[in-house]
Amino acid sequence: DAVLFSNYFVYGMSVFTVNAAGQIAATDVNADGLVLSVADLVYLIRVVIGDATPFAKLAPVAVKYTQNSDGVLSIQNDVRIGGAFVVVAGNVTPRLIANNMEMQSNFDGANTRILVWSREGNSFTGDFLNANGTIVSIDMATFEGQPVALEVLPTEFTLNQNYPNPFNPKTRISFALPTSSDYTLTIYNVTGQKVTEFAGSHEAGTVEVDVDASSYSSGVYFYKLIANNGRFTETKKMVLVK
């Protein structure tokens, strides 16, 4: 890092080739709010030789969000968000929902880039943007400026196809829970006999179950999910090939 930073002063911005914006932001080593300064370089050298302590990085805040079938993005935690950068595939027309926030957007030829922010320092939570399209990426920060670790929550109960399929001898079955729910995942052989069962309770999110079929015979199997107090039931087929 020190060599790269020192090269900047001699060769200029061309030295930042991996992620220029991120690399430049990371040069504020002495945490004075200024980037690309000699003071940062000097402090970095002090950290390297061991007579100065690096400034602690802000820990990411866990935030859960959803996108419903109408394209509405919503924060599910009681966390005040200070800004969001959303990239949506294709040319879409976003609509700002959050109050007291600003929105800017631009189609770059492949994706629509959307910035939700406030030059007055406002924040939002809950529904904040209608971006009806496939989300490519989302980056957020809290009102306090902390980075956010995002987790997308499902909006409906779904049983996914196991992967890999066909498999030998291990595979993974996943399913989506839009709300906290008890669940039972049962595997049957082709004659309808129960082979094994996984049961538990999980908060809203995606659940993954690893299946080791080393003791199973080759053939077709079925797996059935029951969740939401029995109101959701779905069955899929998988094939074990040894």
Dihedral sign, Cα of residue 13, residue 19, residue 24, residue 28? negative
Q: Contact at 8 Å (CB) between 83 and 145?
A: no
pLDDT grade for 234, boundaries at 50, 70 and 90 = very high
Which CB contacts under 8 angstroms, 24+ apart, belong to 3-9?
5/40, 5/41, 5/44, 6/41, 8/36, 9/38, 9/41
153 pLDDT more than 90: no
pLDDT of residue 114: 95
Average pLDDT over residues 40-63: 86
**What is the distance in angstroms between the CA of the first residue and the CA of the last residue of the chain?**
50
58 pLDDT more than 80: no
pLDDT of residue 152: 85
pLDDT grade for 26, boundaries at 50, 70 and 90 = confident
Burial call 27-51: b when 16+ CB within 10 Å, e when fewer: bbbbeeeeeeeeebbebbeebeeee
Rg (CA), the chain: 24
SS3 percent helix, strand, coil of the chain, rounded to 5, is 15, 45, 40
Average pLDDT over residues 104-110: 94
